[in-house]
Structure 1
Amino acid sequence: MSVRKIVTIVEEIRTEGGRALARPARIAVVAAVIDNPWAGQGFVEDLAPGIDAHASDLGALLAPAVLDALEAPAEAYGKAAIVGLDGEIEHGSGLIHTLKFGDHFRKAANATTLLPAVEKRGPAGVVFDIPLKHITDATIRSHHQSVEVRLADAPHPGEIVIALAAAAQGRPQQRLAPLSTEQ
């Protein structure tokens, strides 16, 4: 796996809606910019060999890094695969939609739910939002949120950006009633 760079973004929100938070809300993103393992091969029918060769290594690289950057236990999490213009969305999906990738994050975060995801193809600098949900109960509304990401020089046409995001809490100042109140 060829990693051109790793980008870490940490956002700390201290005020929301004109009110200070009791404790700052933290969200971390760690993204690896990698060479697309299928670039230049035309249509590849069987993606499994490339997935087997790279997905687990990416999960092992990114999961501890995003939790370290968060500097707190994760309560919400998500993932992204942004494919450069010479690739297919399926290339990114193949790398992140496998237990070989996701289980690294689930185990590190003590999570049990599916990782919400965004997949997209775009040029360098494309903006993407990583959806986040609670790590053990996807129905907890307070943790349904997203984090916006943009890497100025990635992905190049033959690259893929693979990213993980984690939040140490739900949305700042959340005050929606639990889903159970509507059932």
Structure 2
Amino acid sequence: MNYRKIVTILEETLREGGRAVEPEARVAVVAAVIANPWSGQGFVEDLSEGIARTASELGALLAPRVTAALGAPIQAYGKAAIVGLDGEIEHGSALIHTLQFGDHFRKAASATTLLPAVEKRGIAGITFDIPLKHFTDATIRSHHQSVEVRITDAPHPDEIIIALAAAAQGRPQQRLAPLSHEQ
């Protein structure tokens, strides 16, 4: 596969609402900037060849990296596909909305729910928010959160950013009732 770069982000929130967060809230993102496998081909009716060539390898690359970057058990997770201007949103969706990609992350996280996702097209430096949900029960509201990502020089028009995000907890200082991880 043609990777241009891999970006790792670790965010640790130590204070929220004027109070200490204990333990600190950790969110990790690992993103791969890749060549769009359908770039320059015009409209491709059947995307399955590019999916077979790319999706599983991406999942196998990103899942252990985001798990290691988080450094704690995963409680919430999400994914993203950001397509450069010469591609279609469907190109990114094709890579992340397949078990060949997602099962690597679900296995690493011991997760059972679908991965929430964002897909969009944009210019280099676009900001995008990856939604995160609880890893075994998407109705647990304490874990509904998002993480903002920006890679200043990506995606190029013929590239796709594929990213995974993981959190070690719900939102810092969450107080919505009644659905939480402890229940």
Question: Scaled by the length of structure 1, what TM-score is found?
Answer: 0.97
Runs of 4+ in 1 over 2 A off after TM superposition: none
Please say if 1:157 is aligned against 2:168.
no
The answer for the alignment partner of 2:42 in structure 1 is: 42
Q: What does residue range 16-165 of structure 1 map to in structure 2 within 5 Å?
A: 16-165=16-165
For residues 114 and 151 of structure 1, what CA distance do their matches in structure 2 show? 25
Q: What are structure 1's unaligned runs of at least 5 residues?
A: none
Q: SS where residue 13 of structure 2 aligns?
A: strand
For residues 47 and 9 of structure 1, what CA distance do their matches in structure 2 show? 30
What amino acid is aligned across from residue 72 of structure 2 in structure 1?
Answer: A
What amino acid is aligned across from residue 162 of structure 2 in structure 1?
Answer: I
For residues 13 and 155 of structure 2, what CA distance do their matches in structure 1 show? 27
CA deviation map 1:135-169 (0-9, x unaligned): 00001000000000000000000000000000000
Contact 2:142/2:179, CA 8 A, preserved across alignment: no
CA deviation map 1:4-33 (0-9, x unaligned): 000000000000011111210000000000
Q: SS where residue 51 of structure 2 aligns?
A: helix
For residues 66 and 170 of structure 1, what CA distance do their matches in structure 2 show? 17
What amino acid is aligned across from residue 27 of structure 2 in structure 1?
Answer: I
How many equivalent pairs are there? 180
For residues 130 and 114 of structure 1, what CA distance do their matches in structure 2 show? 14
Contact 2:78/2:116, CA 8 A, preserved across alignment: yes
Alpha-carbon distance, 1:179 to partner: 4.4
Q: SS where residue 162 of structure 2 aligns?
A: strand
What amino acid is aligned across from residue 131 of structure 1 in structure 2?
Answer: P
What amino acid is aligned across from residue 42 of structure 2 in structure 1?
Answer: G
Q: What are structure 2's unaligned runs of at least 5 residues?
A: none
Question: Scaled by the length of structure 2, what TM-score is found?
Answer: 0.97
Q: CA RMSD in A?
A: 0.8
Q: SS where residue 166 of structure 1 aligns?
A: strand
Alpha-carbon distance, 1:44 to partner: 0.5
What amino acid is aligned across from residue 49 of structure 1 in structure 2?
Answer: E
The answer for the alignment partner of 2:175 in structure 1 is: 175
The answer for the alignment partner of 2:12 in structure 1 is: 12
